[in-house]
Structure 1
Amino acid sequence: MTSKYMALPKGMSESSFDAAIEKFKKALGAENVMIKDEQVRPYTKVMMAVPTEEHTPSAVITATTVEQVQAVVKICNEHKVPVWTISTGRNFGYGSAAPGRRGQVVLDLRKMNKIIHVDPELCTALVEPGVTYQMLYDYLEENKIPLMLSFSAPSAIAGPLGNTMDRGVGYTPYGEHFMMQCGMEVVMANGDVLRTGMGGVKGDKAWQVFKWGYGPTLDGMFTQANYGICTKMGFWLMPKPPVFKPLEIQFDEDSDISDIVEFIRPLRISQVIPNSVVIAGVLWEASTCNTRRADYTTEPGHTPDAILKQIQKDKHLGAWNVYAALYGTKEQVDVNFKIVQDALKQLGKGRLITEEMAGDTQPFKYRAQLMSGVPNLQEFGLYNWRGGGGSMWFAPVTQARGSECDKQKSLAKKILNKHGLDYVGEFIVGWRDMHHVIDVLYDRSSEEETKRANACFAELLDEFEKEGYAVYRVNTAFQERVAQSYGKVKRDVERKIKRALDPNGILAPGKSGIDI
């Protein structure tokens, strides 16, 4: 028998789901409840190396108010319907807008897109889930508010609430996004509305300026979790500095990575360089400028080192390309620039490139935009390297030590090459940590290559864990596997919280490996 739905929630009959759908239509309006194939199919797109069918939703519903979100969770509890919430659904490489499991209803909050408040003096903002970085940037520009944003690289279509809830990072001094978050409004599984921090105090005016409130601090509990649905978020914005000076330093040898990190770390910890420094590999930078592997070779497998060197020469890139920026008054920037120059001179290697030298060329231009809070989509060029629409982000974290980064790079490249794939990676230097971001790119239209990519990703997780490395984010296909890395006690605590707050297990079952 053919169903009217592309999928059904696990364990639910079509007639039971029909009853829930009718209630959704009554609460939200029929136009906000989508079950037709052509309406649901855009929410099935995944870039992971697993079948689309594993992440096909049963329906998609859209809400426009907090009250409607409350109505949704009430219906979900009545009918035991699992709901997977997205804001903009643009976390490509981590799962996109598709649900974590087949048959879950997608609750799309993109229509909740109000910029509720921006305070130009206190440098704060309060927004809804559907607000994109581009929308917020345009609002600041149109209203001549001299504040700048921090965002992930493919920034224009992503949003601050969703990125922060998944603990994403950016490229400005405010690049640790959850650190700059201040105040959440969360719809709980039972329909209650919780405001974290100072938000629960009637008439309070400090919700976006003081994080802690009174008693346990709960904000972090809702990130990368399934304990509630965030409907508002406050965060801090950085004042535009009088002077912004972007820099690039190119290093010619792959083996330079250890020296680069040792050079950068003291400058970051002392805040001479106040932003998250990127150390991007040659293939990362070449592909963002629309270099295709087919331009150099059609041989299967990984790209030989000799070709990597040729790309490096042709595209005027380093084996490693370091991007940083200086912010402040002219006097501050001048002093810090000299400190950077002196440290580089002492290192004895690396070509320093300024904005005046780079001009309007890529990738310097888009990197400078990221570091100055100007949204763009340049980094989507990564997907042209191999083509075929396959992408999975592998993101282990380590100390900001040269030896650790060299070890991670060598291990990752060895595993990727073993599976016939290329190392396309970058390091992002935080204050003391190092995010190692690798895009496992593959041709998803090839069944054989897709199988290799899946095996490769699994091996990356296994082998890195053996060395004491774990990832800080992962795509929805590998959530359960990564949760295991963090140990039984942590998982038991998470399950106890889940059972207490969401006894019917309706909110995003399986997210981050958390179930009742």
Structure 2
Amino acid sequence: MTSSLPKDTYSDSAYEKAHQDTFAPPKSRAIKPVLPSGVSQVDFDKALEDFTSAVGKGNVFVKQALAHYIDPYELHEDESKGKVPSAAICPASVDELSRVLQIANTYGIPLWTFSRGKNLGYGGPAPRLNGSVALDLHRMNRILEVNDEHAYAVVEPGVTFSDLYEYCVKHKKKVWPSTPSLGWGSVVGNSLDRGTGFGSLSNQHQCISGLEVMLADGELVRTGQFGITNSPSAFISKFTFGPSIEGLFLQSNLGIVTKLGMWMMPQPPAYMACSFSMPENEDVEVMVDVFGEMRRNGMIPNVVWMVNLIESLCVRGRRRDLWKGEGPIPEWRLKELQKELGTGFWTARWGLYGPAKTLETQLADIREHLRKRAPTGTLCGTLYSGENGNLLEAKSVPTEHGLMWVGVPSLFSLPLMDWAIVNDATGKPAHGDYAPIIPSSGKKVLDWVQQCKPLYQQAGVDFMADFFMHERHVIFTSMYAFDQQDAEQRKGIESLHYGMHDIATAKGYGMYRAHVHHMDMIAELNDFNNGAYRRFVEKLKASAIQNPAWFLQYYEVKPLIDMEMGLTRVANEKASNFDINHAVSWHASCMSMRTGPFLFEAAAGRFGPEAISQALREITDWAITAGARRSCIHAAQIFKLLFHRKVSDMISFQSIVSLFHAGLVLGLYIFAMPDVEGQDDIDLFDDVDWVALGTTGLTDSSELRTSTVHTLPAARIIRDGGNFTISGLPLRNGHSQARKCWLQFASLMLGLGRWKSRIFSRILHVMCDNLSDVDLGDSLDEE
């Protein structure tokens, strides 16, 4: 492993320099080491050794090298609020990635995955949970295929827009990629985060066709026609049999995308660069209405990008060269600049692609429509055609009309960040935005502009804005540039962001993506049916993500809100409208907070005999913790729920898996637990007042909810230890007692008779026969 800063991240020197400049180590402080939540220093050191063995010592980064893995535009100086990883790992292949996941699962280490870390303004590569290991996929950078005939590409996560473009040029491919304004980002990462490009296929996430995804257990799954071996339609059709699951891996941590099929635009014979501007801020209303109509009726088939005057100025120079005063540039000065540059206050830009004669006809229709609806505006259209009847070469289009409009990546918009810098010696360029989804209604967009402008005034920053017009909605990017080294500016920016969120919440506007600091805040906007969407997604995560560290991070973030909701639901689980699978899922989630299902499966022999001893050693350490005792209570409650099921209950697959894991947890706890003297304290099948018990045993910093928790038997045994009984029968440690437990779980599974219950039952029987006290003694002797 290394503490040296990463280098040679990009093969292009201009991109590498921009990367190094952006992620220059913080001037004000060193990066302090942080551990993954719930992981000891000893275990973390072992994990780092294993990670190094998996990917090579030059691809595991720690200490000051982590300057490249934090948000370069972080608002918070307080390290308790900032987002910092514990290490960074850079696998180069699917095999290396699989080994990394296995190691992470073994030690219960949360991973934060990204492709290139260039989601700047939204946290960049910074983790959602402090102490996560940054999983950097930039070394997985193969372009696997670019197909001319069907116009698609297949790429790995580390492939940038610039890489893909250069590949197409070098191999004379007759396709144009859709690219955002900065070409250093990942095709995969940008598409999965629903980023927007330009040109005819700007909605990049809608151009995904075929994914290969590594799940948390290292298993690979392919979606759609890609899931059929040797399918010639793998990347050309979204039609598939059964549920379409690509969307599950957009803005999610349900798996890691390792390959992605992306549709591209066929290289056209001609392209027309179009723009339309109007002089007043209030003109945005008529522009949105007119262009929204043309987007819906097909007159303009591609995305329209609308930019205000401030943002147009940002890419031309710095604010200090245009205005020396304090606060936002005043209206009278903006009017002067508008006149000097001969531009409108709002400018719409779009491209038309196809045969030259077709484009000329399209422009004529657009001109006539605008003449009637927006007569004070100015329309421009410049046609570029291929030479001698050939297809148009993108590089032949001048910069002012080309670049991202013709699929040519660049660092075009990077100067925008410098806008607010007053002193080069002390300033650090930074930016962010708030980007709600607003109906394509001029009245609504103008209302948003008018309500946000005073907030920018209060923050002391200029109101820069742009938005992408789709057929029925706009994504309104309320942008702000600031000096990261200026504490007052940072404070104003934070207030501005939350102010815009309050406006959006009142209007019911959602966001299309969110900064790592604001993900919970944005997720809470999905409030229908008391957050049913979030609960459904959590169930999917509980099923797909085996690493318990994920559960821990979520509940530590919002223990008093989400836990109370969950506790209240479970406390009333006997209500007629409560589904048994929901109750099992909740208990399984709580159980998983302090257990790692893969660790227990390793002890059951899933990863071979070599892994059993290591797993038993770790389970022995776990068995003396409060979290282990809390997990056992939940495990027993899962058994109780399913034992007392009604004939009419439809038991889900996840409930079967939860029962299996509960059997492993309770049995292996009994197998490994220390001798305890004294009276039996609690029967595991007794009802528990979950609301009063609160988070006792779930997190390291549990708070007692009420005074009655001191008298709860469950709380006492979780905190202080003690003996268990089950239906009045005492539980003692050792293989004999564990065997009885496993046989009971195996019998219940066999009685359920659904899904893989027979297989799981057989595994428990094998454990009864093959695991003995000798195994545990040998494991301890090895230590």
After TM superposition, is the score higher than 0.5?
yes
Structure 2 residue aligned with 1:374, among 396, 408, 428? 408
* Cα offset, 1:171, TM superposition: 1.4
Q: RMSD of the alignment, in Å?
A: 2.2
Q: Is the 8 A contact 1:84 1:507 kept in 2?
A: no
Determine the structure 1 residue equivalent to 2:516. 476
Which one-letter code corresponds to 1:491 in the other structure?
R
- Percent sequence identity over aligned pairs: 28
Alpha-carbon displacement from aligned partner over 1:212-252 (angstroms, at most 9, x marks no partner): 32211111111011111111100111101111000111211
More helix by share: 2
Which one-letter code corresponds to 2:162 in the other structure?
Q
- For residues 48 and 342 of structure 1, the distance between their equivalents in structure 2, rounded to whole angstroms, comes to 48
Structure 1 residue aligned with 2:168, among 110, 128, 140? 140
Structure 2 residue aligned with 1:233, among 260, 283, 288? 260
| TM-score (norm. length: structure 2) | 0.62
- For residues 189 and 198 of structure 1, the distance between their equivalents in structure 2, rounded to whole angstroms, comes to 22
Q: Is the 8 A contact 1:383 1:389 kept in 2?
A: yes
Higher relative contact order (CA 8 A, sep 6+): 1
Determine the structure 2 residue equivalent to 1:361. none
- For residues 297 and 267 of structure 2, the distance between their equivalents in structure 1, rounded to whole angstroms, comes to 21
Determine the structure 2 residue equivalent to 1:57. 85
Q: Is the 8 A contact 1:46 1:96 kept in 2?
A: yes
1:208 aligns with 2:235: yes
Determine the structure 2 residue equivalent to 1:218. 245
Which one-letter code corresponds to 1:126 in the other structure?
V
Q: Is the 8 A contact 1:276 1:430 kept in 2?
A: yes
- For residues 292 and 415 of structure 2, the distance between their equivalents in structure 1, rounded to whole angstroms, comes to 29
- For residues 105 and 324 of structure 1, the distance between their equivalents in structure 2, rounded to whole angstroms, comes to 41
Alpha-carbon displacement from aligned partner over 1:181-235 (angstroms, at most 9, x marks no partner): 1011111111111111122222222110122322111111110111111111001
Larger mean CA deviation between 315-324 and 115-124 belongs to 315-324
Alpha-carbon displacement from aligned partner over 1:390-416 (angstroms, at most 9, x marks no partner): 311211111111111111111221222
Structure 2 residue aligned with 1:494, among 524, 533, 537? 537
Q: 1:213 to 1:507 in 2, by over 3 A?
A: farther
Determine the structure 1 residue equivalent to 2:754. none
Q: 1:322 to 1:446 in 2, by over 3 A?
A: same
Structure 2 residue aligned with 1:170, among 191, 197, 215? 197
Determine the structure 2 residue equivalent to 1:25. 52
Q: Secondary structure at the match of 1:343?
A: helix
Structure 1 residue aligned with 2:485, among 440, 445, 450? 445
1:90 aligns with 2:130: no
Instruction: Give the 5 Å matches for 1:119-138.
Output: 119-138=147-166
Q: Secondary structure at the match of 1:117?
A: strand
Determine the structure 2 residue equivalent to 1:301. 327
Determine the structure 1 residue equivalent to 2:220. 193
Which one-letter code corresponds to 1:329 in the other structure?
P
Tell me how many residue pairs correspond in the alignment: 504
* Cα offset, 1:100, TM superposition: 1.9
Larger mean CA deviation between 59-68 and 387-396 belongs to 387-396
- For residues 279 and 253 of structure 2, the distance between their equivalents in structure 1, rounded to whole angstroms, comes to 45
Q: Is the 8 A contact 1:301 1:421 kept in 2?
A: yes
* Cα offset, 1:152, TM superposition: 1.7
Structure 2 residue aligned with 1:463, among 503, 517, 533? 503
Alpha-carbon displacement from aligned partner over 1:423-456 (angstroms, at most 9, x marks no partner): 1101211121111012122221111211111111
Which one-letter code corresponds to 1:42 in the other structure?
H
More strand by share: 1
* Cα offset, 1:466, TM superposition: 0.4
Alpha-carbon displacement from aligned partner over 1:126-181 (angstroms, at most 9, x marks no partner): 00000001110011111111111112211x21121000110111111101111111
Q: Secondary structure at the match of 2:307?
A: strand
- For residues 383 and 53 of structure 2, the distance between their equivalents in structure 1, rounded to whole angstroms, comes to 60
* Cα offset, 1:459, TM superposition: 1.3
Structure 2 residue aligned with 1:150, among 174, 178, 183? 178
Structure 2 residue aligned with 1:326, among 341, 352, 373? 352
* Cα offset, 1:4, TM superposition: 11
Determine the structure 2 residue equivalent to 1:273. 300
* Cα offset, 1:367, TM superposition: 5.5
Structure 2 residue aligned with 1:384, among 418, 426, 429? 418
Which one-letter code corresponds to 1:172 in the other structure?
G
Structure 2 residue aligned with 1:159, among 186, 207, 225? 186
- For residues 250 and 62 of structure 2, the distance between their equivalents in structure 1, rounded to whole angstroms, comes to 29
Please identify runs of 4+ aligned residues in structure 1 that moved more than 6 A.
Answer: 513-516
Q: Is the 8 A contact 2:37 2:549 kept in 1?
A: no
* Cα offset, 1:479, TM superposition: 0.8
- For residues 504 and 451 of structure 1, the distance between their equivalents in structure 2, rounded to whole angstroms, comes to 36
Determine the structure 2 residue equivalent to 1:360. none
Alpha-carbon displacement from aligned partner over 1:468-507 (angstroms, at most 9, x marks no partner): 2121111111111111111211111111111111132456
- For residues 440 and 412 of structure 1, the distance between their equivalents in structure 2, rounded to whole angstroms, comes to 12
Structure 1 unaligned blocks of 5 or more: 358-363
Alpha-carbon displacement from aligned partner over 1:54-113 (angstroms, at most 9, x marks no partner): 211111111011111111111111101011111111111111122222211111110111
* Cα offset, 1:342, TM superposition: 0.6
1:286 aligns with 2:313: yes
